[in-house]
Structure 1
């Protein structure tokens, strides 16, 4: 019988699967966004909205979003997800493996750490407490889906004080300011 090294469990974690799609409790629901049809047009329109474009900087053309979503769906690093509330899509999020993302250059990411980018698509749905209500349910669902995950991170633009307040109210703690491509961000962490 081969001796077991203390590094064996870490080596297993190096082989982290694609990020999970969370199974959310009602009235929430989450599903993978498709790269065509309704999903494509919705994600494109939401990212064009001034309140989203100001911080996400992804006000791309429809063909660019079609390519982006197709690339994400073909890979294992990021899952594009539409989150619905009472059956209505309200939030676009990308669930990603932090160790395979630019944020890994700014903190010691573990292989199963997850990251989130999220945006409330419709301006009329902002300031209703959706994010602060969703985040505890979303983090619980992600921790349940990946038992090896011990941390979930967010990296909002430091100027996005509305989002930062919502993330704090949803259980995330500010860790450090970090430089990411195109923005000075606030690294925020939620631990298991």
Structure 2
């Protein structure tokens, strides 16, 4: 047996930049300047802090984003709509995440954490559209990936509704120290749902 078969996650590249088309665009978040100011400010917003619990000092966010960029597990992104920043997104390889082992993941499975920055842009259907566009963009960017997953808090009803409307399907619950999460899966095809 080859080492690739023993440790498939080590042979899988880091998360890709999703392939999005106008009016959507995605770019890697930088750990300095305007990107850092934006993410740091958004994370202090009550509607995000209620579920992310990361209203950290600016320096801690610098370390977080820089750390993600130095590794191959999480890709921090800023998603723009019509050229205006809408959301901070972390795309991660499930096999390199704490979610690994909580379901029958495949080596190329991708996961997403999403925070829509401005509270006044929530509750308008933008989240569900973004989630659909993002899942399709990730599947297009990595042909070997057949599922995009998410694990929002089971008490985050607006988020659960948005994921459902975007084509993510329930696949059970996962218990983490700080939350019980709904495991949601956006499969490439029906056969790609976890069994």
Same fold (TM over 0.5): yes
Pick one of 95, 100, 106 that aligns with 1:104: 100
CA contact (8 A) 1:77 1:100 kept: yes
TM-score normalised per structure 2: 0.91
CA RMSD, Structure 1 to Structure 2 (Å): 1.8
Partner of 2:45: 49
**Partner SS state of residue 22, structure 1:** coil
What does residue 31 of structure 1 align with? 27
Residues 131 and 114 of structure 1, relative CA distance in 2, 3 Å threshold: same
Match of 1:123 among 103, 110, 119: 119
For the pair 1:148 / 2:132, whether they are aligned, the reply is no
1:136 corresponds in structure 2 to 132
2:172 — aligned with what? 176
| Residue among 12, 16, 23 paired with 1:20 | 16
Query: 1:13·1:112 contact (CA, 8 Å) conserved in 2?
Result: no
Once the two structures are TM-superposed, the CA of residue 105 in structure 1 deviates from its matched residue by 3.0
- Give the number of equivalent residue pairs: 187
Is 56-65 or 176-185 further displaced after alignment?
176-185
Asked if 2 retains the 8 angstrom alpha-carbon contact of 1:13 and 1:148, the reply is no
Structure 2: tracts of 5 or more residues without a match: 189-195
Indicate conservation of the 8 Å contact 1:139/1:152, yes or no: yes
For structure 1, which runs of at least 5 residues remain unmatched after alignment? Answer: none
- Report whether the alignment pairs 1:73 with 2:69: yes
CA distance in 2, matches of 1:137, 1:33: 18
Q: TM-score, normalised by structure 1?
A: 0.92
Q: CA deviation at 1:24?
A: 0.6
The alpha-carbon distance between structure 1 residues 74 and 171, as it changes in their structure 2 partners (threshold 3 A), is: same
Q: Distance in 2 between matches of 1:19 and 1:191?
A: 17
Deviation at 1:165? 0.1
Secondary structure in 1 aligned to 2:161? Answer: helix
Of 8-17 and 102-111, the range deviating more from structure 2:
8-17
Report runs of 4+ in structure 1 exceeding 2 Å deviation.
7-14
